[in-house]
Each structure stands twice: as structure tokens, then as C-alpha cells.
Amino acid sequence: MTLPFIIVGGGVGGLASAIYLAAQGRRVLVLEKNERVGGKLNLLQEAGYTFDTGPSLFTMPWIVRDLFAAAQRNFEDYLDISLVEPMFRCCWPDGTQFNTSQCVPQLVKEIERISPSDVTNFFRFVARCAQVYDRVAEPFLYQPFRGFTDFLKPQLLSDGLRIDAFRNVDATLGQFFNSPHLRQMFNRYPTYNGSSPYLSPGTFNIIAYVEFIYGGWYIRGGMYQLARALLRLAAELGIEIRTRAEVSEIVVRSGQARGVRLKDGQEIEGSCVVVNADPLYAYQHLLPGQEHMATALDKLQASASGFILLLGVDTCYEQLTHHTIFFNRDYPLEFDAIFEKGVPAADPSIYVCTTCLSDPSHAPPGHMNLFVLVNAPPLNGRVSWKREAEGYRNQIVRKLELMGLHQLQHHIVFEKIMTPQDMQNYYHSARGAIYGLASNNPFSAFLRPSMRAPRIKRLYFVGGGTHPGGGIPLVVLSGKTVAQRIASDKNIPE
């Protein structure tokens, strides 16, 4: 029997690479440390409530459709996706509310209601983003990314200005929007890759563009249905998946990855090893002798983490929509706390996702399931979450009460807190960061760890820690690219 291609980690990136490799006819083995696959795409079902504990929004569905097509399958036979309306409800402390919509006339009506002059500006903004998207999608998302050699292509250098790479997201938005509310709303999008709108390049306005133009989708039954669908497809393709199988070392002989050693001591030989675990964690813990790589990566800024409350409440709050955001008064201060001071924001913006509004089975009748997410700093030794989680939780609950969730504390009948420390412990996300490295400067894409390990043959990385970055669609693209690169790697036996 041929040796398997070993994937270390059953996150979405790991599963996507496994499927693309199996579709090429390879024998694939996925080893996942936790009790189920999906990685950060995870769920909790308890006390009659269902919570998606990671992603709540599904974008760029064509990328996952392509994954199913590569395996000669039809995405629609596995997943049922729908748009939610309103897309988001934004609430501000001054009482302003704004519903984003996937229906253009409805959206125009809303913009006109809070800032008439910004209707034309919105369309100018979309046109600008469309140009930027057209320039960056191919080289940065869809093409295999090979690092500085790509950067040195003269075309990309001259494109820097045309893709708003040299001014930040907030400054770029300032050229379009008059309303401070709309500017703050669009400033939120760099948080989708764990970055700050005041530091990350204006290029990232394309995240908002992708959501407004191509849609923010929900997966019927909950986001975890995606992990179930990938698991089903993997089984159909004959991929072997072992859960509760933690890898403790990648076995390297004569400069080549030859297999892995599990925590229980078992050694498994493989043709190639693809690491879906965080690259910094892998260099620190799985690859003896590669400490210099870990030291170099550890010097780079980590993406934001998250502080999460899963709340089951015995009432229904009318003001909540499927996605609701309670913005704070001083957005720059929030990101200054997270990225400059490395501490939780004193007055954070709060995102609440209430999937029971789309899937009533996610909470008992008359109850709601509140997934509450606040941006948090990655672990840096300055915050002891063990000590501070309870106090921060109280602060967030009080703020939600002030924002109109009447007597929230009194209505909580189930709760669980998840901190950046949990993110590190449970998923081995180095520094608890959700998206690997932050994209807080124009060159960050070039600093991400490369997909192919520089000094070890037959060793690859896949997922949010490498290229093109974090988020469900991008880690699926990462799976596709890694399989393509492996297919053309002469060091790997057929």
C-alpha cells in the first residue's frame, strides 16, 4: 500500500487540502487532536441551545462550490445556504441604528435615511473597491503565492498605489464617506482578518465589497454544517480521519518530512506532511531544530483574538437581528488598546449573533442563543484571562443592558466564556490569535509563513496561518493551492 499524505489538523484548511489531494487520487490521512473536525469552525450544544462558537458568516461561496466540484460533487447536495435580511443591524450609543441590506434599493433607502450625501459616495466606494478587487484577487488570493519574488514583480510594485496599499483603511474610507457612523461601520471589516482599520492597508476595503456585493450567507442548520459536509465528502473519497489523534512531532530525516509521531508514541510514515496547525505553534512544538523559524515568526505581530460569551437567555430581544453590532464611541481607542497596549478595550464594540432567528431549533421556544464576540488582544503576558475573564464578562453584559438588552443578566440561564487562552489551548493557535499574523501593514502578506517549508522537503502548511490568510473561503483556497503545489513537487513520490 502507498504511504499516505498526512494532514496534521482537521480544520477547514486541513479538510480542504485533504479533499483536493484525494481528488487527485492520493491516499490521505487526517490527524486531528480534538474530538471532532472543523477546528475553529466549531459548535456547542447544551441545555437546549446550539451555538456556532467560531464563524458566523459565510462569504465567497463559489470557493467552497469549487471544492465540491473538484470531487465531482454538487455543493447544493450537501449544504443549504441563504442570505439573511437585514444583513447586519448596527447600533450606536447615540441611538442611531442602521440596517445593512443585500437588497440594493433597501440599502440605498437606509443610507439616505442617515446620511443622504453618502448614497452617491457608497457607489463611488463600491466602484473603487471593484477596481482594487480585480487587481488583487488573482495574484494574492487565487495564485500560489511565493513571497518576496512576487513582490519584486514590477507590476505589483506599481500597483501598490492603485490598490490603496499605502494608506490605511480608515484614511481611505475618509475619502468616501461623510457620516461618521458609516465610516465606523466600514472600518469594522479589517477585523475579519484580525487587523486594525487604522493600521491595515486600504486594500482591505475589498472585504466589505465582497460582503455587500457577493453576499453574507448563512448555512442552514448552523455554520457547523459545513464541517459535517466536508466530513461526509471526505468519507466518500476514502479519506481516513482520526480524531483525538494529537501529533507531537513531525519526523524529519535527511532534510525530508517522513511522517509524524503521535502523542501516544505511535509513529506513522507518510509521503508528505501538510500542517494545518498554526505554523508558529508547529515550529515551536512539532519541529525540533527549527526554533530559529519560531523565533523569527514570534517577532511578527499576531492577529487579534476574541473574547466570547455564549449566552442562553429565557426571553426574546426584539432589537436583535441575526447579526447585530453595538458600536462604541471611540473606535480608534479600541484598536489602540488591542494592538498598541495589548490589553482588552475598556469600552469595546460588541457583535451579537442570534442564529435562532434563522434556525428556531437553536434555542427553546421563547428563548434566544446569543453568541457575543468582542475583539481581544492576542496573548502577550500582559493579561491573565483566568483573573480577568469574569470582570470583563460583567462589563460586556452591563454594556449590552445599557444598549437596550433589558435585564440581560437576569435572563441568562446558560452561559460559557471563551477567552484567547482557550483559543490557544483548544486549537493550538499560537498566542491565541484567530488569524495567525495581523495584516497591519502593507507588507504583511509577504511576511506570512510560506506554504512550503523553506528548509524541509515534503513539508507544507495549509490554512489561516499561511497564504492567503484566515477566514473560511481563504483557508479553502489555501487547501487548493497546497494540493496544486504538491502535485508539481518532484521530491514527493506519486
Ligand X SMILES: Cc1cc2nc3c(=O)[nH]c(=O)nc-3n(C[C@H](O)[C@H](O)[C@H](O)COP(=O)(O)OP(=O)(O)OC[C@H]3O[C@@H](n4cnc5c(N)ncnc54)[C@H](O)[C@@H]3O)c2cc1C
Q: Which residues of the chain form contacts with ligand X (CB under 6 A)?
A: 8-14, 31-34, 39-41, 54-57, 246-247, 276-277, 306, 308, 373, 427-429, 434-435, 463-464, 470-472, 475
Residue 183 or 428: the one with the smaller Cβ distance to ligand X is: 428
Of 121 and 466, nearer to ligand X (C-beta) is 466
Rounded to an integer, what distance in angstroms lies between the CA atom of residue 280 and that of residue 302?
10
Taking a C-beta distance cutoff of 8 angstroms, is the pair 78, 229 a contact?
Answer: yes
DSSP 452: B
Residue 420 vs 442, nearer CB to ligand X: 420
Helix ranges, 163-224 (H): 169-174, 180-187, 205-214
Q: Give the SS3 label for residue 255.
A: coil
340 SS3 class: helix
CB 249 within 8 A of CB 261: yes
- Separation of alpha carbons 213 and 288, rounded Å: 46
Class of residue 390 by CB neighbours under 10 A (exposed 0-12, middle 13-18, buried 19+)? exposed
Burial tier of 205 (Cβ tally within 10 Å: 0-12, 13-18, 19+): buried
Shortest approach of ligand X to residue 472 CB, angstroms? Answer: 3
Q: What is the DSSP string of 15-47?
A: HHHHHHHHHTT--EEEE-SSSSSBTTS-EEEET
Give least dist CB 167 to ligand X, A.
26
Residue 11 vs 202, nearer CB to ligand X: 11
Q: Rank residues 23 and 57 by Cβ distance to ligand X and give the closer one.
A: 57
Shortest approach of ligand X to residue 285 CB, angstroms? 7
Q: 190: which DSSP letter?
A: G
- What the block records as the C-alpha cell of 315 is 426571553
C-alpha to C-alpha distance for 195 and 438, rounded to whole angstroms:
5
**CA-based nearest residue to 4, from 245, 200, 362:** 245
What is the side-by-side order of every strand in the sheet holding 323-326? Answer: 97-100, 88-91, 323-326, 350-353, 368-376, 305-313, 412-418
In the complex, least distance from residue 30 CB atom to ligand X, rounded to whole angstroms: 9
Nearer to ligand X, 374 or 405 (CB): 374
Judged by beta carbon, residue 167 or residue 485, the one nearer ligand X is: 485
Q: Nearest Cα to 19, choosing from 260, 240, 205? A: 240
Question: Cβ 39 to ligand X, closest distance in Å?
Answer: 2
DSSP conformational letter for 302:
B
Between 137 and 171, CB nearer to ligand X: 137
Cell 481581544 appears where? 376
Query: Which residue in the block uniquely carries the three cell numbers 513539508?
Result: 459
3-state secondary structure 42-74: CEEEECCEEEECCCCCECCHHHHHHHHHHCCCC
Q: Which residue, 115 or 349, has its beta carbon nearer to ligand X?
A: 349
Q: Which is nearer to ligand X, 180 or 288 (CB)?
A: 288
* Among candidate residues 398, 407, 481, the one with its CA nearest the CA of residue 141: 481
State which residue, 201 or 306, has the beta carbon closest to ligand X.
306
Cβ 352 to ligand X shortest distance, Å: 13
Sign of the torsion formed by the C-alpha atoms of 335, 338, 344 and 349? positive
Q: Rounded to a whole number, what is the distance in angstroms from the first to the last CA of the chain?
A: 12
**Least distance from ligand X to the Cβ atom of residue 52, Å:** 8
Q: CB 279 → ligand X: shortest distance, Å?
A: 10
Tally Cβ neighbours within 10 Å of residue 104: 13
Residue 237 or 423: the one with the smaller Cβ distance to ligand X is 423
- Shortest reach from residue 36's CB to ligand X, in Å: 9
Give the nearest distance from C-beta 33 to ligand X in angstroms: 4
Best CA proximity match to 88, nearest among 220, 196, 176, 217: 217
Nearest distance, CB of residue 303 and ligand X, angstroms = 10
**Nearest approach, Cβ of residue 366 and ligand X (Å):** 27
Q: Toward ligand X, which CB reaches closer, 9 or 202?
A: 9
What's the closest the beta carbon of residue 461 comes to ligand X, in angstroms? Answer: 9
Joined together, the cell numbers standing for residue 144 give 500560489
